[in-house]
Amino acid sequence: MNMNEPDAGGLGLPSHELGDGPRRRPTTIRWIGALILACIIGAGFLYINQDDTPRPTWEWKPKPYDPPVQYAFVPADSKCHGWPASSTDEEALPPLISCTEWRLRVNYKRGKGRQDIGIPYGAGCGGYRGGVSISDDDCTSDIGLNDAASQVQLSDNERRDIALRITRDGHRIAYFSKKYMQFVSWDLPTAQRKAISPRLNVQTIDDVRDLEISPDGEFFAVAFAGAQPRLLVTEFATGQTITLRGFCAILGISKGASRIAAQRTCSDLNEASAVTILKRDGAVIGEWGGASFTGDLSPDGRSIVEIDGDGDGDGDGDGDEYIITRDATTGKVTKKFKLQLLSEPSDAIGHTWLDNDEYIVQAETPERSESFGYYRVDVKLGVSHRIHDLGLNLGSVVSLGSVFIRH
């Protein structure tokens, strides 16, 4: 045997005597075996030490959004807002938020402006609106705002609806955030959100009575009752908040918050109380009582409007109804008109000022079972006109924004 030939397979034979197959080295076999064993051990180690920690939930970060919000609504067929809660409902305490069903209705031109709000939603384009054919570039979307609480659970047998407010131009909104557990303001075109209240718990959310936004979207207010009644008024530009103590309800904020209409006492029985007109720094410039129903402060802060019946007290909805305008500072009646929305009996429900001269009213059947639509009423002339851009039944709860569809 040529001792210089490499040994083959440890058999003492030269490698050329093993046949025509490839040569196999014992080091290769041992390496493959070790690799397989390492893989088996490694797989077992990974299985035993796998990370079962839940992945972070998806976090919504709003993006700039140009189309104005026409209105926000809670669907009329909402099961979440039904009462009593069904046995299949998840435990509501905790968390405090029991429903997040606010939807934003927007109308826009296809491909015009920034239209990605950062959350998925469906769109419908073209078709018919009010019996009139519309362009395929005219689109409508209902956007589910899952961060906005529409109802909170205060106890095992008590729920409370939570308001959402919109500016008249439809570009700023205010709502109670499920994520942050506080009221926030949100500017859609710039995707900015700012806090307008501290974080709240069951006790403090039970004290909330009102949420308001100034017509220009520059100031936001949250009213609290309870042991420490107060108004929190926040400026969007600076994020600074002032506290006006001793007031538990707010009837409106004028542009620039130059005037604020508030009340010192609140009653769950909806009994009227004195109205106080304040400056932004809390200085009182007027206080009066005597109104049977309180209303809403006009955008310029000079008038308060209310809807009132004829005083027959029977509650059947068959009596005449009036729209009454008062001087905000003195409470003196300046205008009073009989509402003539329809030729048939209807109940009028006040919603919001369209501008300093017109107020939006909804007409419903006396049984409050069906809507006859929304009307803009001229508070100086008493003339009313149907708002055809708003449907008859918008939802179980509605907050109006930029009501007219502009193309």
User: Looking at the predicted structure, is the pLDDT value of residue 203 above 80?
Assistant: yes
Residue 246's pLDDT is 95
* Any domain includes 32: no
User: Looking at the predicted structure, is the pLDDT value of residue 286 above 70?
Assistant: yes
pLDDT tens digits, residue range 124-137?
898 877 677 888 89
* Any domain includes 344: yes
pLDDT tens digits, residue range 55-99?
445 567 889 999 999 999 999 888 787 655 544 455 544 558 999
Residue 357's pLDDT is 97
Q: What's the rounded mean pLDDT across residues 97-104?
A: 94
User: Looking at the predicted structure, is the pLDDT value of residue 120 above 90?
Assistant: no
Q: Domains in the chain: how many in total? A: 1
* Any domain includes 109: no
* Any domain includes 12: no
Q: Is 71 helix (H, G, I), strand (E, B) or coil?
A: strand
Q: What's the rounded mean pLDDT across residues 393-407?
A: 90
Residue 316's pLDDT is 45
* Any domain includes 72: no
Residue 292's pLDDT is 63
* Of the candidates 220, 101, 206, the residue with the CA atom closest to the CA atom of residue 159: 206
**Cα–Cα distances in angstroms (integers) from residue 333 to residues 200, 249, 270, 303, 330, in the given order:** 39, 22, 21, 10, 9
User: Looking at the predicted structure, is the pLDDT value of residue 5 above 70?
Assistant: no
Residue 12's pLDDT is 34
Q: Pull the structure tokens for residue 59.
A: 């976090």
User: Looking at the predicted structure, is the pLDDT value of residue 331 above 90?
Assistant: yes
Torsion of CA 250, 252, 254, 260, to 10 degrees: -20
Residue 387's pLDDT is 95
Residue 395's pLDDT is 92
Residue 155's pLDDT is 84
User: Which pLDDT band holds residue 272 (cuts at 50, 70, 90)?
Assistant: low
* Any domain includes 315: yes
Segment among 10-14, 185-189, 331-335 with least mean pLDDT:
10-14
Between CA 146 and CA 160 the distance in angstroms is: 17
Residue 84's pLDDT is 52
Q: What's the rounded mean pLDDT across residues 195-215?
A: 94
User: Looking at the predicted structure, is the pLDDT value of residue 386 above 60?
Assistant: yes
Residue 204's pLDDT is 93
User: Which pLDDT band holds residue 291 (cuts at 50, 70, 90)?
Assistant: low
Q: What's the rounded mean pLDDT across residues 323-347?
A: 89
Cis peptide before 94 (omega within 30 of 0): yes
Percent of the chain with pLDDT over 70: 75
Between CA 291 and CA 279 the distance in angstroms is: 22
Q: What's the rounded mean pLDDT across residues 266-291?
A: 82
Residue 383's pLDDT is 94
Segment among 27-36, 151-160, 360-369 with least mean pLDDT:
27-36
Torsion of CA 282, 288, 293, 295, to 10 degrees: -40
Residue 267's pLDDT is 66
Residue 168's pLDDT is 95
Residue 314's pLDDT is 38
Q: Which domain holds residue 352?
A: 292-394
pLDDT tens digits, residue range 235-264?
999 999 999 999 999 999 999 999 999 999
Between CA 287 and CA 302 the distance in angstroms is: 13
pLDDT tens digits, residue range 13-51?
333 333 334 434 444 445 545 555 555 444 444 333 444
* Any domain includes 375: yes
By DSSP bridging, strand 275-278 and strand 260-263 are antiparallel
* Any domain includes 49: no
